[in-house]
Homo-oligomer: A and B are copies of this chain.
């Protein structure tokens, strides 16, 4: 495919209208919902180790307010705990990781403003903390051995390290024609190629983190997954509607059909069963927590029923944050020029779908403890 995911994949930078920073409410809501699990992991680790210096790494920090949400949560829990346990304040070092294409400049320039807010918020409970940035793929090593106490990652592990190999026949014919992810029309080889890439990536992830974690350390991981067969879930639908928009532009001659046929997302939403199976096979971590959450596609729709209150708004909102997430991948394959038109069509497709059925995201949350 000629695409190096490490170089191309990143959320839209800066703080403008189409940036990830202004389009990450979906991710924000989930961080709030997973707080109890994160809090629990911090507390257990802190009580066990009572470290003078605590190292916390956020993998896939992106660039936006959510990055600071996690820092704030850790500072809150540790500040309160050390007071209750009458411990000397530890120092916390936060490592914010993302791929090298991430807008770290934007993160770093927001830190001072953030620091002031947090000082006011935490007052004398604030423990000293330091923030640094770590560029690189979390499918490889990022830290020295046993140098991290807690890993956190939210909405990242469904991104694969690469587009799976094997999505073409031996003669170079695309097998997943007209699709950009697994759908009902994808042949079994495509499903297998995705599953195989997922297993390999998640397994590398676990091995790297095991090497990097201190004894007594742990991880809290949140990512998109699915409940059913890979071809029938919400993610197949979500990306199917985007493929539909691409196909309509191809049929009108706006983009080349073979560009659509050869485009596949480096993305995979696993089932909890698949996740557990990789963890079990690696044998490096104990599964401490495993929860499945649901979330509306539209990040601004906080309702819990199955009614579409404003399907046009739903379509626009979904298109906006999906664009913030995959614009660089799309632009790399099809050029910048089609972006506005493509996401208009996508918004339209999503809003029509929302009228029929309120499909929801499946979010997997797991808490892992390093085996000694």
Question: Nearest CB to that of A144 among chain B residues?
Answer: B91
Which residues from B are CB-within-8-Å of A280? Answer: none
* A116-143 contact mask (Cβ, 8 Å, vs B): 1 or 0: 0000000000001011111110000111
Interface residues of A in 44-76 (CB under 8 A from B): 52-53
Interface bracket on A: 20 to 34
Which residues from B are CB-within-8-Å of A109? Answer: 100-101, 135
Residues B111 and A135 in contact, CB atoms below 8 Å apart: yes
Residue of A7, A104, A147 ringed by the most chain B CB atoms within 10 A:
A104
What's the nearest-Cβ distance from chain B to residue A210, in Å?
15
A112-B6 CB under 8 A given contacts A103-B105, A104-B105: yes
Residues A53 and B145 in contact, CB atoms below 8 Å apart: yes
Residues A111 and B105 in contact, CB atoms below 8 Å apart: no
* A295 within 8 A of partner (CB): no
* A90-120 contact mask (Cβ, 8 Å, vs B): 1 or 0: 0101010000110111001101100000000
* A10-35 contact mask (Cβ, 8 Å, vs B): 1 or 0: 00000000000000000000000000
A130-B104 CB under 8 A given contacts A111-B135, A112-B6: no
Which residues from B are CB-within-8-Å of A6? Answer: 112
Residues A130 and B112 in contact, CB atoms below 8 Å apart: no
Which residues from B are CB-within-8-Å of A112? Answer: 6-7, 100
Which residues from B are CB-within-8-Å of A53? Answer: 144-145, 147
Which residues from B are CB-within-8-Å of A147? Answer: 53, 93
What's the nearest-Cβ distance from chain B to residue A205, in Å?
17
**29 pairs, CB–CB < 8 Å, chain A vs chain B:** A6-B112, A52-B145, A53-B144, A53-B145, A53-B147, A91-B144, A91-B145, A93-B143, A93-B144, A95-B132, A100-B108, A100-B109, A100-B111, A100-B112, A101-B109, A104-B105, A104-B133, A105-B105, A108-B133, A111-B136, A128-B144, A130-B141, A130-B142, A131-B135, A132-B132, A132-B133, A132-B134, A133-B133, A133-B135
A residues apposed to B, CB below 8 Å: 6-7, 52-53, 91, 93, 95, 100-101, 103-105, 108-109, 111-112, 128, 130-136, 141-145, 147
